[in-house]
Amino acid sequence: MAAQSTQISKPTSIPASKYVTLRISKFNPKKESSPKFIDFKVPYQKWTTVLDAILHVKQNLDHSIGVRYSCRQASCGSCGMKINGRPALACFTKIIELNSDVITVEPMNNFPIIRDLVVGFERMFSTHKKIKPYIIREDSEITPGTKEFLQTPEEVEKYIQFSNCIKCGLCNSVCPTMATDSSFVGPQALAQAYRYIADTRDKGKKDRLKIIDDSHGIWRCHFAGSCSQVCPKGVDPAMGIQLLRGYLLGFRS
Ligand code: SF4
Ligand code: FES
């Protein structure tokens, strides 16, 4: 895709110090056959994030830019995109740390594009739901007298990092297996399967192992490990996948 035009912003919402070229991928699949890049000159300060810069463009230069965000503090998982080719949260990436005069933003790979930088999460959320992301117990174990199911710090340690997942989809977007098998369960859901299976309060291990042990399931992963490298919350899906395989192969119980 070639850059089509450059628009220079009058610095209204960000006080000017330096300028960077923000190259935004524009694409409406309902009306166009392919994406095109448009360049915008945007002022930035040392605290300006990529999301701030996109919103500056949206406010001052092109209201039509499609971008999704909510919390602006790396909590909601809405603002994932490719920034200079690497998947990242736009609200958690500062312009200054990219060390580049041109910053290219594109929608994440392995997701359908809705418009510009916004992708569809339907499949990821339905796969997440499929692995039953909640504690499963028999009703009979929860009686009026039941107050707490206690765990030791060591038991919590086994799954706690996996519960930090914000469902941003960065791991799925960088997964080479997702790129070639659109039915692959994916690192996000597999990491969550491990999160609940490793929780001593949960009794759903058998169900979940059955769900992930199919032709588009856990065995399709060939351990590229890129999912763990891009996770902004320190989750290690690649390790979760290996630990899950241990259950399926009988090394873990
Ligand atoms: S595991 Fe990490 S990268 Fe993947 S969806 Fe969860 S928070 Fe995002
Ligand atoms: S806006 Fe919520 S994670 Fe970026």
Mean pLDDT in the chain?
Answer: 93
Count CA within 13 A, CB hemisphere, residue 52: 20
pLDDT at 13: 59
Of the chain, the end-to-end C-alpha distance in Å amounts to: 51
Whether the predicted pLDDT of 149 surpasses 60: yes
How confident is the model over 97-130, as pLDDT tens digits?
999 999 999 999 999 999 999 999 999 999 999 9
Q: What is the DSSP string of 82-94?
A: EETTEEEEGGG-B
Q: Is 174 in the pocket of ligand 1 (CB under 6 A)?
A: no
- Report the distance separating Cα 226 and Cα 173, nearest Å: 10
Give the model confidence (pLDDT) of 156-176 as tens digits. Answer: 999 999 999 999 999 999 999
Q: Is the pLDDT of residue 10 over 70?
A: no
Cα gap 61→12, rounded to integer Å:
11
Tell me: pLDDT of 252 over 90. no
Delineate the domains of the chain, giving CATH numbers in brackets.
Answer: 3-119 (3.10.20.30), 122-248 (1.10.1060.10)
User: Which of 55, 72, 231 gets mutated to test ligand 2 (max ligand atoms within 8 A of its CB)?
Assistant: 72
65, 57 contact by CB (below 8 A): yes
Instruction: Identify whether the C-beta of residue 108 lies closer than 8 Å to the C-beta of residue 226.
Output: no
| Residue 143 CB contacts under 8 Å (≥ 6 apart), including other chains | none
* Count of other CB atoms within 10 angstroms of residue 29: 12
Going by alpha carbons, the residue nearest to atom 7 of ligand 1 is 165
| Main-chain dihedrals φ then ψ at residue 141, nearest 5 degrees | -80, -15
| Residue-wise DSSP of 176-219 | HHHHH-TT--HHHHHHHHHHHHT-TT---HHHHHHHHSSTTSGG
Element housing 20 (H / E): strand 18-26
Q: Are strands 113-115 and 36-44 parallel, antiparallel or unpaired?
A: unpaired
Number of neighbours of residue 139 by Cβ within 10 angstroms: 6
75 close to ligand 2 (CB < 6 Angstrom): yes
pLDDT digits (tens, 9 = 90+) for 30-83: 999 999 999 999 999 999 999 999 999 999 999 999 999 999 999 999 999 999
| C-alpha dihedral, 73 to 47 to 101 to 42, nearest 10° | 90
Residue to substitute in 78, 161, 165, 236 for testing ligand 1 pocket (most ligand atoms within 8 angstroms of CB): 165
Query: Is any atom of ligand 2 closer than 6 Å to the C-beta of 74?
Result: yes
Indicate if the pLDDT at residue 12 is higher than 70. Answer: no
Global pTM value: 0.91
DSSP state of 161: G
Buried b (16+ CB within 10 A) or exposed e, 76-102: bbbbbbbbbeebbbbbbbebeebeeee
Averaged pLDDT, 188-217: 96
- Residue whose Cα lies nearest atom 2 of ligand 1: it is 231
